[in-house]
């Protein structure tokens, strides 16, 4: 009898433990369902754990600084790209603006402008590129893909022409240079600050709401009186300025302004970070924090494979495959999330 | 309860609209009074939606004059029309699937604070949306869910509630029961009837299914080839008369098509 009671008690305990485990799993899946950023953060943590297990140098201070270097500028560009994607457009030229903007700053400094004004002028030039992108896309109804593709070549040619194809050294006071990217903690602060600020703008302000509405249902947004063209143009300007700012930060980090820097590679890395982070290419939905984590995941993959000694030839293959797998998992999680909430 | 019909709120005189060579509306005359429900019927491409978009400020008429509360008006934009109290619920519902119920209800009229930052007052939006939906007896699972998760009837009800919420004087409903089952349609028609009973809002209902909306309308206008070809009070006509008229029109269109083929 006692044995039977103990057996029953044991079964009850096991059921209790199972239920608790089930409860924990449900809570964990609830977090993933509720926060779109959670799944990519989880993927990033798993990748970091894997690379640390294969190479103990992965989480060393110097390597973490490498990660920050890659993530910071990619995340800043990705933040602007998220805004453009959410309003239903795309900017392929931002990587060239990244190269152009530091040269504008350099020439302004050479002309005797104070460093702050030179940075402001460089950002204004980057914003002007965004303004032209936005105006052509909205007023002439040219698809953003075509507009920004054309602008990508145009800006590349312009940068090569004004620079003569040679790199230059950024000239600024050490403190100024440190604040604008020379220092690793400043780079981290800029990327985090921009991501948090834009996430707030996107999720908590009227401008963010109208950006989502414009990308989610353009006709509906126009019918309720939202000035959809203005919303799109402002987001293009914002994206251009962030691309230019990322270029300035990298110029001070590297200590050189290179006309061949950036380009399509950084543009696609930023778009990949945005999409991996949960931003839809179709518009109406996105997260800047997700893009920041997406940039971090790309950084982890790139850095981890480099440390693992993967050959440069196979590196892109593995990176591409990893992006596809991450995206596939993310899409499944999104569907799961939608069904879970439905 | 039949609400009394009040003073004139909207009038169109000799309104025309052309898109290049295509004339969508010609010499349209229409009058709408407070508390009145006008059924605007007609075939696809007859010009109903174009006329509605002129009333909402989305299109500007090529010729003619609009009057709002007996004063001549030139609607400069959708926002201008909305500021006067002209609200529309389009076939595409003008709802954004990615936004929740209360954000949709306040779209473009969001209460904000923080000056130029324009920070959304989520608490106020949420509270007022719940109050309004309760008052209009519109049932949704929660105002926090994205409208994509609502049924067709619930979405339509939210869209109508949003317009009423914005203190509409004229409510334009484009095919309010399109692609809906009988139960969902009844939900919307009940809502329209309740608004009509309130006697404060004038409504124009664009519909293909005139039998369905006939009972809630006070007057029927039939649009044919961009013109108002028929204007009668519902007490002076019947669904049967409308059907005969539509069948005659259909036969003449077929006759013309056959003639063109031969």
Determine, yes or no, domain membership for B105: yes
Q: Report yes or no on B1 lying in a domain.
A: no
Could you tell me if B85 and B62 are in contact, meaning their C-beta atoms sit under 8 angstroms apart? no
Q: Report the chain B residue with the minimal C-alpha distance to residue A280.
A: B98
Q: pLDDT (tens digit, 9 = 90+) per residue, B134-162?
A: 888 888 899 999 998 888 888 888 888 88
Q: What is residue A133's DSSP assignment?
A: H
Contact criterion met (CB below 8 Å) for B15 and B54: yes
Determine, yes or no, domain membership for A24: no
How far apart are alpha carbons B73 and A333 in whole angstroms? 52
What distance in Å separates the CA atoms of residue B4 and residue B18, rounded to the nearest whole number?
A: 36
SS3 category, B258: helix
In a domain, B226, yes or no: yes
Q: How many helices (H) and strands (E) does chain A have?
A: 14, 0
Does some domain include residue B39?
yes
CB B147 within 8 A of CB B95: yes
Kindly provide the residue ranges of all beta strands, DSSP E only, lying in chain B, ordered along the sequence. Answer: 8-19, 22-33, 37-42, 63-68, 71-73, 86-89, 112-113, 119-120, 170-174, 202-207, 219-224, 227-233
Could you tell me the maximum CA-CA distance found in chain A, to the nearest angstrom? 96
Domain containing residue A135:
38-337
In a domain, B84, yes or no: yes
**Residue A252's domain is classified under what CATH number?**
1.10.3470
* Residue B2, domain member (yes or no): no
The verdict on a CB contact (< 8 Å) between B117 and A341 is: no
The answer to the question of residue B207 being in a domain is yes
Would you say residue B235 lies in a domain?
A: yes
Whole-number Å distance between alpha carbons of A163 and A107: 10
Tell me phi and psi for residue A256, to 5 degrees: -150, 145
Question: Are the C-beta atoms of A265 and A271 separated by less than 8 Å?
Answer: no
Q: Contact A95/A264 with Cβ under 8 angstroms?
A: yes
Q: Does any domain span residue A18? A: no
Q: Tokens for B123? A: 């608490």
Which residues 80-139 in chain B show a CB within 8 A of chain A?
A: 82, 88, 90, 92-99, 103, 107-108, 110, 112, 117-120, 122
B142 in reach of chain A (CB within 8 A) = no
Q: Number of structural domains, chain B?
A: 1
Q: Per-residue confidence of chain B (262 residues) as pLDDT tens digits?
A: 445 577 899 999 999 999 988 889 999 999 999 999 999 988 777 888 889 999 999 899 999 999 999 999 999 888 899 889 998 887 666 789 999 999 999 998 899 999 989 999 999 999 999 998 988 888 889 999 999 888 888 888 888 888 887 778 999 998 888 767 777 788 888 888 888 888 889 999 998 777 878 888 999 998 888 888 888 898 888 888 888 887 777 777 677 777 777 6
Question: What is the number of domains present in chain A?
Answer: 1
Residue in this structure with the two tokens 């005139």, named with its chain if needed = B210
Which chain B residues are closer than 8 Å to A220 by Cβ? 90, 92-96
* CATH code assigned at B73: 3.40.50.300
Residue A185 lies in a domain: yes
Residue of B nearest to A198 (CA): B117
Q: Is residue A32 a part of any domain in this protein?
A: no
Token pair 């669904």 is at which residue?
B239
Shortest Cα distance, chain B CAs vs residue A46, angstroms? 30
CA separation for the pair B149, B121 (Å, rounded): 23
Residue A37, C-beta contacts closer than 8 angstroms, at least 6 positions apart: A277, A278, A287, A289, A290, A293
Residue A25 in any domain: the answer is no
Cβ contact, residue pair A225, B78, below 8 Å: yes
Q: Does residue A43 belong to the interface with chain B, where contact is any CB pair within 8 Å?
A: no
Maximum average pLDDT range among A32-46, A202-216, A291-305: A202-216
Q: Which of A217, A222, A341 lies at the smallest CB-CB distance from B97?
A: A217
- Do A98 and A269 touch, CB atoms closer than 8 A? no
Residue B154's domain comprises 8-261
C-alpha distances out from residue A27 to A23, A33, A277, Å: 6, 10, 22
The answer, as to whether pTM is greater than 0.90, is no
Whether A108 is in a domain gets the answer: yes
Confidence at residue A330, expressed as pLDDT on a 0 to 100 scale: 66
pLDDT tens digits, B63-107: 999 999 999 999 988 889 988 999 888 766 678 999 999 999 999
The answer to whether A171 faces chain B, any CB pair under 8 Å, is no
């Amino acid at each position: 009898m006692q044995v039977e009671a103990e057996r029953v008690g044991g079964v009850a305990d096991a059921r209790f433990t199972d239920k608790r485990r089930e409860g924990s799993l449900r809570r964990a899946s609830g977090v993933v369902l509720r926060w779109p950023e959670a799944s990519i953060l989880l993927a990033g943590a798993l990748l970091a754990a894997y690379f640390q297990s294969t190479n103990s140098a992965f989480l060393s201070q110097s390597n973490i600084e490498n990660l920050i270097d890659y993530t910071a500028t990619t995340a800043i560009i990705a933040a602007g790209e998220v805004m453009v994607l959410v309003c239903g457009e795309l900017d392929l030229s931002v990587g060239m603006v990244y190269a152009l903007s530091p040269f504008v700053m350099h020439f302004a400094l050479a002309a005797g402008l104070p460093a702050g004004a030179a940075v402001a002028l460089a950002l204004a030039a980057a914003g002007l590129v965004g303004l032209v992108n936005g105006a052509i896309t909205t007023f002439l109804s040219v698809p953003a893909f075509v507009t920004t593709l054309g602008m990508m070549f145009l800006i590349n040619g312009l940068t090569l022409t004004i620079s003569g194809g040679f790199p230059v050294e950024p000239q600024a006071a050490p403190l100024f240079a440190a604040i604008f990217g020379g220092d690793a903690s400043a780079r981290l602060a800029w990327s985090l600050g921009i991501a948090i600020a834009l996430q707030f703008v996107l999720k908590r302000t009227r401008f963010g709401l109208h950006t989502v509405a414009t990308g989610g249902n353009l006709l509906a947004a126009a019918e309720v009186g939202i000035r959809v063209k203005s919303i799109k143009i402002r987001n293009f300007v914002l994206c251009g300025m962030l691309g230019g700012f990322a270029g300035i930060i990298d110029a001070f980090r590297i200590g050189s302004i290179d006309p061949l820097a950036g380009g399509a590679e950084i543009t696609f890395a930023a778009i990949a970070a945005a999409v991996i982070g949960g931003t839809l290419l179709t518009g109406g939905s996105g997260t800047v924090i997700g893009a920041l984590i997406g940039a971090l995941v790309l950084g982890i993959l790139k850095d981890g494979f480099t440390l693992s000694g993967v050959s440069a030839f196979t590196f892109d293959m593995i990176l591409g495959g990893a992006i596809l797998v991450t995206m596939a998992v993310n899409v499944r999680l999104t569907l799961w999330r939608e069904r879970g909430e439905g | 309860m039949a609400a009394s019909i009040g003073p004139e709120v909207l009038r169109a005189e000799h309104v025309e609209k052309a898109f290049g060579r295509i004339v969508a509306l010609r010499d349209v005359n229409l009058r709408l009074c407070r508390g009145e429900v006008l059924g605007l019927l007609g075939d696809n491409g007859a010009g109903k939606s174009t006329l509605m978009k002129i009333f909402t400020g989305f299109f500007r008429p090529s010729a003619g004059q609009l009057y709002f509360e007996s004063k001549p008006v030139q609607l400069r934009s959708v926002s201008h029309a909305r500021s006067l109290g002209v609200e529309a619920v389009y076939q595409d519902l003008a709802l954004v699937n990615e936004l929740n119920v209360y954000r949709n209800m306040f779209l473009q009229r969001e209460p904000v604070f923080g000056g130029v930052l324009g920070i959304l007052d989520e608490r106020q939006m949420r509270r007022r949306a719940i109050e309004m939906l309760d008052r209009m007896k519109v049932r949704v699972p929660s105002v926090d869910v994205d409208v994509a998760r609502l049924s067709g009837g619930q979405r339509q009800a939210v869209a109508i509630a949003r317009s009423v919420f914005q203190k509409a004087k004229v409510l334009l409903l484009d095919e309010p029961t399109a692609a809906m089952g009988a139960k969902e349609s009844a939900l919307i028609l009940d809502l329209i009837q309740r608004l009509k009973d309130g006697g404060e809002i004038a409504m124009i209902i664009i519909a293909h299914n005139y039998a369905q909306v006939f009972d809630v309308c006070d007057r029927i206008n039939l649009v044919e080839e961009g013109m108002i070809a028929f204007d009668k009070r519902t007490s002076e006509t019947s669904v049967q008369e409308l059907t005969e008229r539509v069948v005659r029109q259909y036969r003449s269109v077929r006759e013309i098509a056959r003639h063109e083929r031969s």
